């Protein structure tokens, strides 16, 4: 398996534009996580899915953020409209289930909103 794949690796957009980040988890993993990382706030859990169903979205900053998982092999995180304070590295991760399984992270998407 190629691991967790995120795209794009870098995204620069203007304030007010819609941004869509994409993630392909490892095949067979039941859990998918979206994180945001900044210097000030560290690594924040935004939302996570189990078997394509959102379990906890309490970390989503506000209504401008939305996430979907239409099938087991694909998830998106959308920001509409984007703001400069959304600039961060966004990571996607997947695991096999509950207990304490090893989490595999993608390379991240570095988002810059100007």
Partner 1 sequence: LAKTTQPISMDSYEGQEVNITCSHNNIATNDYITWYQQFPSQGPRFIIQGYKTKVTNEVASLFIPADRKSSTLSLPRVSLSDTAVYYCLVGGDNQGGKLIFGQGTELSVKP
- CA pair distance 32, 45, nearest whole angstrom: 11
How far is residue 112's CA from residue 10's CA, in Å, rounded to a whole number? 8
Tell the smallest beta-carbon distance from residue 16 to partner 1 (Å): 27
Site for partner 1 in 81-110 (CB under 8 A): 91, 93, 95, 97-100, 102-108
Between 10 and 85, whose beta carbon lies closer to partner 1?
Answer: 10
Tell me: does residue 28 bind partner 1 (CB under 8 A).
no
Report residue 86: phi and psi, to 5°: -80, -5
Are 20 and 78 in contact by the 8 Å Cβ rule? The answer is yes
Q: Is 31 in the site for partner 1 (CB under 8 A)?
A: yes
Provide the sign of the torsion angle of the four alpha carbons 93, 94, 99, 101, taken in this order. negative
**Where along the sequence are the contacts to partner 1 (CB under 8 A)?**
4, 31, 33, 35, 42-43, 45, 48, 50, 55-56, 91, 93, 95, 97-100, 102-108
């Amino acid at each position: 398996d190629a691991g967790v794949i995120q795209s794009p690796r870098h995204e620069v957009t203007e304030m007010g534009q819609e941004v869509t980040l994409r993630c392909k988890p490892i095949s067979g993993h039941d859990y998918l996580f979206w994180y945001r990382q900044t210097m000030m706030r560290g690594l924040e859990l935004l939302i996570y899915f189990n078997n394509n169903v959102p379990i906890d979205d309490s970390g989503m900053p506000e209504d401008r953020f939305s996430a979907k998982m239409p099938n087991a092999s694909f998830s998106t995180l959308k920001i509409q409209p984007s703001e400069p304070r959304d600039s961060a590295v966004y990571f996607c991760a997947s695991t096999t289930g509950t207990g304490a399984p090893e989490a595999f992270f993608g390379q991240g998407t570095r988002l810059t909103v100007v």
